[in-house]
Structure 1
Amino acid sequence: MKMKRVLYYAPGDIRVEEADVPTPGEGEIVIKNKVTLTCGTDVKTYKRGYRYEPPFGFGHECSGVVYAVGPGVKNFVVGDRVVAHNSAPCGHCYYCKKGEPSMCESLIQNQFKNGGYAEYQLIPAPIVEQNTFHIPDNMEYKQAALLEPLACALYGTEMTHFDMGDTVCVNGCGPIGLMFVRMCVLRGARVIACDMNPERLATAKKLGAEIVINIKDVEDQAQAVIDQTPEKRGVDAAIEATGLAQVWEIAANMARPGGEVLFFGGPKKGSTVTFDTNKFHYQQLTMKGVFHTTPQVVNGAFELLKMGAIKADDFVQNEYPIEETEQAILEHASGKVIKNCIVYD
């Protein structure tokens, strides 16, 4: 039996090809995808590739129905509605034992082995065991497919130190940035959101941001944010969610003395930034990079999805068939939508 899947070959060159439907091995399952959502990582992959040698599959925000189960699978049967996260740690390397599973030396990132832009997707055993969930009957596939980005935003929020009532600035209102906005609001922060897209800023406002700043309307983004903080002292925490090195520097300049800066967006490899060491030292700033997420947080993110803490209607706009995946990704890249959705028969 054949299926359609999308493969990356080179920058700007992705192709829909036919392949055999995978057969699950020990502990594995095969999901017949119902939807796959576009993501900023997909845009970066399309434009510049990834660290793997092409061709390779990509896409990782998916949900669907169990099509086949391998030997030893106990918790899932054919026909179950499920969502699988794109990764799982090994649980036994140095970093896993240190309680840092996002740094796992053997972290499985399934999207580049069994890409989500496909009618059928093989899910490796560690992901089946740790990060695959039954979708409730009242949850839409699009809602479930938001699991991976919400887990990342939730992890970043949990790794940022601020108290209820503190002021937090989220720089960048793409999908992840908007989820940061929502998670920080739910945790009791007064949120300032920065972007240049009026529609995304409107969504940030809808998700609870108290103040939105269109960076096209200000000369100094950091100062514009500081001016909106109590006594103009700066934000208690600044979150960078664009993946642009220049925004890393801007975020570092808006934190108050003793404040924290979280770098979540991943800039292009080889990018460098410059910080004022005097400010860094004497104002006792804390700056940290955070990558990906953990199984514990993935579980929490799925519970939040079930609670309706975020809703697919606020994040997912247009639907496309798999043959038009490139168009869906390009529209996402243009900023005209927050996310698009590939829908399978």
Structure 2
Amino acid sequence: MQKVQAVIARSEGAPVETVTIQVPDPGPGEAVVKILTCGVCHTDVHYRDGGINDEFPFLLGHEASGVVEAVGADVTEVAPGDSVVLNWRAVCGECRACKRGEPKYCFATLNATQKMTLEDGTELSPALGIGAFAEKTLVAAGQCTKVDPDARPAAVGLLGCGVMAGIGASINTGGATRGKSVAVIGCGGVGVAAVAGAALSGASPVIAVDLDAKKLEAAKALGATHVVDSSTTDPVEAIKEICAATYEGAEGADIVVEAVGRPETWKQAFYARDLAGRLVLVGVPTPDMKVPDLPLIDVFGRGGALMSSWYGDCLPSRDFPMLVDLYRQGRLDLDAFVTEEIGLDDVEAAFDRMRTGDVLRSVVVL
């Protein structure tokens, strides 16, 4: 058992606290990881505000890089000293998705069996089974994905959630490739990653839509060929015009990624698609939101697919090392996502900056 400093959400809506927690020694199938960096993600705010569930107190943080410190019995995936990015899809190999050869949809992903606790023994609920706003954390060994130890931890750690979700929404879920057009509505961290993924795939045009000029500039820097300020321009009409100028007869984009998670922008994405186009929802809605009213004939008549993307439909063991290699080759600018590096005590202030749109990612560095 070790005692370390960590950031928790004790009750719904209350400011986060930096406290001492207890991390058990790893049991069978588990690993203790010394955390190097952890990105500040919207999902952590959802946990703090009770938008995920009510299993307080939460140990926040999940978008992390680190070094394996110790492993339990039967662990073969990683060894002490390995540089890793943590993931929340440690595939089980036994569920119906895994058995049919689709582990990226694993329905029973693994987490550590033991619980980390407060000093008084109160059990903590780690965000997405990780809990990495901490000097050390306990995870299932399968949640550790080995990566190049020479890669910048603050950058590659972001693959653990937001960047992977966005890149995967374009490539894995949306099927972006050369000869296809992609529009991304909402250019926060996940949306800009979706833009980067679309550009990486060779798709063109790549259209970024947002209300914020700073976010549109970030999208342009990461590969958007066109930007649309939806505070002054109808995004649906703009997307249609841009795509028609590239592909004669196009009635919208082949793939529209909705990275906001609101009914209004989802409806825009629906109508911004070309015939047989794909709508990919990667923005996280709140439980009270509903799919907007749509004439059923429009759903039928436009064809295509209405999809949601969970973790970018990624397989961490395959996708993380590949994307780190692209980063090391200079083909994927993960550094551009790191707006600032902060300490554990700065997480609450980072939540405020995230809400105002001043950052793509604040990254806690330990």
8 Å contact from structure 1 (residues 147, 302) kept in 2: no
Partner amino acid for 1:240? E
Q: Distance in 1 between matches of 2:332 and 2:351?
A: 22
Pairing partner for 1:319 from 336, 341, 357:
341
8 Å contact from structure 2 (residues 89, 316) kept in 1: no
Matches within 5 A, 1:1-345: 1-8=2-9, 9-74=11-76, 76-108=78-110, 111-128=127-144, 132-137=145-150, 139-148=151-160, 149-156=162-169, 157-190=171-204, 191-218=206-233, 220-230=234-244, 231=249, 233-273=251-291, 274-293=293-312, 296=315, 298-308=317-327, 309-344=331-366
SS in 1 for 2:231: helix
Range that drifts further, 333-342 or 321-330: 321-330
1:27-73 alpha-carbon deviations (Å, 9 max, x no partner) = 32211111111112123333444224111212111112222222333
Q: Distance in 2 between matches of 1:285 and 1:294?
A: 18
1:269-298 alpha-carbon deviations (Å, 9 max, x no partner) = 131122232222122232112212556355
Partner amino acid for 2:7? V
User: Alpha-carbon deviation of 1:312?
Assistant: 3.3
8 Å contact from structure 2 (residues 179, 203) kept in 1: yes
User: Alpha-carbon deviation of 1:263?
Assistant: 1.4
Q: Distance in 1 between matches of 2:275 and 2:41?
A: 34
User: Alpha-carbon deviation of 1:207?
Assistant: 1.2
8 Å contact from structure 1 (residues 173, 241) kept in 2: yes
8 Å contact from structure 1 (residues 252, 275) kept in 2: no
**Structure 1: which 5+ residue stretches go unaligned?**
none
Q: Distance in 1 between matches of 2:194 and 2:89?
A: 20
Number of equivalent positions: 339
**Structure 2: which 5+ residue stretches go unaligned?**
112-125
User: Alpha-carbon deviation of 1:211?
Assistant: 0.3
8 Å contact from structure 1 (residues 166, 189) kept in 2: yes
Partner amino acid for 1:243? G
8 Å contact from structure 1 (residues 143, 305) kept in 2: no
SS in 1 for 2:287: coil
8 Å contact from structure 1 (residues 261, 288) kept in 2: yes
8 Å contact from structure 1 (residues 168, 236) kept in 2: yes
CA pair 80-18 structure 1, distance change in 2 beyond 3 A: same
* TM-align CA RMSD: 2.2
SS in 1 for 2:195: helix
Q: Distance in 1 between matches of 2:241 and 2:352?
A: 36
User: Alpha-carbon deviation of 1:311?
Assistant: 2.6
CA pair 296-106 structure 1, distance change in 2 beyond 3 A: closer
Partner amino acid for 1:142? A
Partner amino acid for 1:24? P
Partner amino acid for 1:122? L
CA pair 61-162 structure 1, distance change in 2 beyond 3 A: closer
- Alignment TM-score, normalising by the size of structure 2: 0.85
User: Alpha-carbon deviation of 1:10?
Assistant: 1.0
- Alignment TM-score, normalising by the size of structure 1: 0.90
1:147-193 alpha-carbon deviations (Å, 9 max, x no partner) = 22333234322221455122210111111111111111121211000
1:217-260 alpha-carbon deviations (Å, 9 max, x no partner) = 21x22122212221562111211111112111110011122222
Q: Distance in 2 between matches of 1:39 and 1:271?
A: 21
8 Å contact from structure 1 (residues 171, 238) kept in 2: yes
8 Å contact from structure 2 (residues 167, 196) kept in 1: no
Counterpart of 2:123 in structure 1 is none
1:283-330 alpha-carbon deviations (Å, 9 max, x no partner) = 223211221255635522331222214333211112221112111122
1:87-131 alpha-carbon deviations (Å, 9 max, x no partner) = 312121122223443543322466344411111011213324xxx
